[in-house]
Structure 1
Amino acid sequence: MSVDIPRRVVIFRHAMDDWLDVDDHERPLAERGRKDAPVAGRWLAGAGIAPDLALCSTAVRCRETWKLAVSELPERPRTVYDDRIYEASVGELIAVLNEVSDEVQDLGLIGHNPGMHALADALAGEAEGDLLPRVNRSGFPTSAVAVLTFNGSWQAVEHGIGRLVAFWAPHA
């Protein structure tokens, strides 16, 4: 696959989690999260977004979010659970993206704030309409999805490379 083709990264924050007395990594989804995650999946399907590959944090709330959301997609993409996404900084998330094979055109990235919000903001060199101010005003709530496009190789992903083309959140 040519490295000059358009690519898309779907940045997806996990759904609302439950603040139980368990280790942060093991926190499950709250009832609202179990309702919002499939709605996010339906939004993705309705927008015609079906990643070739999904990279998901190993945290319980991310795995549960993706399981519920992906059940709404026409086809389940290959999913890789990656410890590096949990509590990752923007630089660490970009490093993960830089390792993606150029065979992948559309990538889903399921993780946590503040990393997901910071990554969407960092990659968006430009945006359609008022999308970037909307992302920043919203604070990138649980179940939020930002979609960015860029041309080139995953190895070339860096600050400002993308165009923010969609933003959705269930309660925004």
Structure 2
Amino acid sequence: MSVAEPRRIVLFRHAKADWPQVSDHERPLADRGRMDAAVAGRKLADTGIAFDLALCSTATRTRETWKLAVHEFQHRPKTVYEERIYEASPGELIAVLNETPDDVRDVVLIGHNPGVHGLTDILSGEAEGDAQTRLNRRGFPAAAFALLTHSGSWKSLEPGVATLVDYWAPSE
């Protein structure tokens, strides 16, 4: 793959989690989270992107979100469960994405706030249409995702080099 072809990155926040008496890492999805994860999966499938790679936090709620979302896809990407995504800062998430092989074009990263929202803001040097307005109005609620494009290599991914192309969040 040529690095001249735009790469697509979806930053996907896990769906709504429950609050049982377990560690934060082990929190499962709430009933609403299970419904929203499937809806988000359908919305992601509607983009027509055949993701090459999914990078998913090891937390229970992110793994459950991804399992329900990817069920809606025609093509299931290779999935890597990455411990470093849990509680990661935007800079740590960039470091994870910088390690992506150059033959990978489209990536979905399933993670947590405030990291995924911060990363969306930091990477977005510009935005198309009203995506930035919608993001600013809604914030980054559970099960929301942002679609960004980047024309360079994964190693060149850094603040301000991407374009926010789309943003979606479940209705409340």
Normalised-by-shorter TM-score class: over 0.9
Q: CA deviation at 1:76?
A: 0.7
In structure 1, stretches of 5+ residues that fail to align are none
Measured against aligned partners, the alpha-carbon deviations of 1:120-166 in whole angstroms (never above 9, x if no partner) come to: 11111000122113212212000001000010100000001111111
Runs of 4+ in 1 over 6 A off after TM superposition: none
Match of 2:10 in 1: 10
Q: TM-score normalised to the size of structure 2? A: 0.97
What amino acid sits opposite 1:42 in the alignment? Answer: R
Measured against aligned partners, the alpha-carbon deviations of 1:89-146 in whole angstroms (never above 9, x if no partner) come to: 0110000111000110000000000001000111110001221132122120000010
Moved more, 86-95 or 135-144: 135-144
Q: CA deviation at 1:45?
A: 1.0
Cα distance in 1 for partners of 2:136, 2:112 equals 16
Match of 2:53 in 1: 53
What amino acid sits opposite 1:61 in the alignment? Answer: R
Q: How does 1:1-172 map to 2 (within 5 A)?
A: 1-171=1-171
Cα distance in 1 for partners of 2:10, 2:44 equals 9
The count of corresponding residues between Structure 1 and Structure 2 is: 172
Q: Does the residue aligned with 2:132 lie in a helix, a strand or coil?
A: helix
What amino acid sits opposite 1:111 in the alignment? Answer: G
Moved more, 56-65 or 42-51: 42-51
Q: Does the residue aligned with 2:95 lie in a helix, a strand or coil?
A: helix
Cα distance in 2 for partners of 1:47, 1:90 equals 24
Q: TM-score normalised to the size of structure 1? A: 0.97
Q: Residue 44 of structure 1 contacts residue 50 of structure 1 at CA under 8 Å; is this kept in 2?
A: no
What amino acid sits opposite 2:9 in the alignment? Answer: V
Sequence identity, in percent? 66
What amino acid sits opposite 2:49 in the alignment? Answer: I
Instruction: Give the CA RMSD over aligned residues.
Output: 0.9
Q: Residue 12 of structure 1 contacts residue 143 of structure 1 at CA under 8 Å; is this kept in 2?
A: yes
In structure 2, stretches of 5+ residues that fail to align are none
Cα distance in 2 for partners of 1:86, 1:76 equals 22
Cα distance in 1 for partners of 2:161, 2:20 equals 39
Cα distance in 1 for partners of 2:149, 2:167 equals 12
Cα distance in 1 for partners of 2:75, 2:160 equals 31
Cα distance in 2 for partners of 1:5, 1:157 equals 14
